[in-house]
Amino acid sequence: MKTASVRDFRARLAELLEGNEPVLIRRHSKNVAIVYPLRDPGKLPMEVRRTIVNAIARQFDVREVVPMHPQVIERYKRDVDRTLIRENLQRTPEQRLRALQEMQRFAAEVRRAGSRRR
Amino acid sequence: MIDFRRLLAALIEEKVEFVIVGGVAATLHGSARLTSDLDIVYGRSREDTRRLVAALAPLKPYLRGAPKGLPFHLDVETVRAGLNFTLTTDAGPLDALGEIAGGFNYEVLRKRSISVELFGMRCRVIDLDALIESKMAAGRPKDLEVIAELETIREEIENK
């Protein structure tokens, strides 16, 4: 494994990244980082692979946050079908879940029918 | 489509500490909206994550939307190093979340959840007020209709 100080690494970045072996970065006589080249991803340590998976998972998790103004929600509430809610509130939680499952089954069937038609 | 019975049974058999949140929680509170995945917030201790990994292993979890062929290992170390995982499984889509918007992790949700019986199993579900708070904190435009419906449910329950 090659070793480089932070200053050395900065100055020789392109050259060090060209190599096939990891580079140990040291600062003030202490080990601070290891840079792995990606020429052979299969040789990456498991921990690094786990980190990559988590980085991808986080990437899917990034969302824009918009303020939820009460007036806007009040406007949306005017369009809520209270009859469906009242019907649901008569059911047990399990009955509500079974109804959702039925709805999902129906939606899947509609999607299948749509794709068969195409 | 989600096989709720199979997914919940897998989690409960391995004694995973979890609370149902998201769209399915909304359904359990009386929402009439269609949702297509099961969201849970799971305990983050080493033992909790070990149980989660053991419960999901037979269901062949994979990162939803990730390129095929990724060297994905859902082991304890991976889960502990990450937080939120949107997965496909043999029993349907599952979002295993370490925390949801509003700072709701498992420890908080244990106190902000109710117990319901589903398919003969006891499960914890985020309570209605906490669900509305988390949807408000998430600040996603698609949640506007959901929040409006959840607030309507709360009104209907209060007016009963």
Three-class secondary structure assignment of chain A: CEEEEHHHHHHCHHHHHHCCCCEEEEECCEEEEEECCCCCHHHCCHHHHHHHHHHHHHHHHCCCCCCCCHHHHHHHHCCCCHHHHHHHHCCCHHHHHHHHHHHHHHHHHHHHHHHHHC
- The reply to whether residue B149 touches residue A85, judged by beta carbons under 8 angstroms, is yes
Please give the tally of structural domains in chain A.
2
For residue A82, give the nearest of B28, B31, B152 by CB distance.
Answer: B152
Q: Which residues of B touch A87 (CB under 8 A)?
A: 32
Domain CATH code at residue B152: 3.30.460.40
pLDDT at A92: 96
- How many CB contacts within 8 angstroms connect chain A with chain B? 132
Band (pLDDT 50/70/90 cuts) for residue A42 is: low
**Claim to verify: residue A55 and residue A86 sit in the same structural domain:** no
**Cα separation, B85 vs B39, whole angstroms:** 10
**Claim to verify: residue A77 and residue A55 sit in the same structural domain:** no
pLDDT at A62: 60
Give B46-56 pLDDT, tens digit per residue.
Answer: 999 999 999 99
Q: What is the DSSP letter of B58?
A: G
Closest CA of chain A from B119, distance in Å: 7
Mean pLDDT, rounded, for A4-21: 88
Please give the tally of structural domains in chain B.
1
Give B80-124 pLDDT, tens digit per residue.
Answer: 888 899 999 999 999 999 999 999 999 999 999 999 999 999 999
Domain range holding A47? 2-61
**Claim to verify: residue A90 and residue A52 sit in the same structural domain:** no
Give the Cβ contact number of residue A96 at 10 Å. Answer: 24
Domain range holding B103? 4-158
**Cα separation, A70 vs A92, whole angstroms:** 30
pLDDT at A21: 82
**Cβ–Cβ < 8 Å for A3, A19:** no
CB contact, 8 Å: A14 with chain B?
no
**Claim to verify: residue A34 and residue A7 sit in the same structural domain:** yes
Q: Which residues of B touch A46 (CB under 8 A)?
A: 73, 77
Domain CATH code at residue A11: 3.40.1620.10
The ipTM, to two decimals, is 0.87
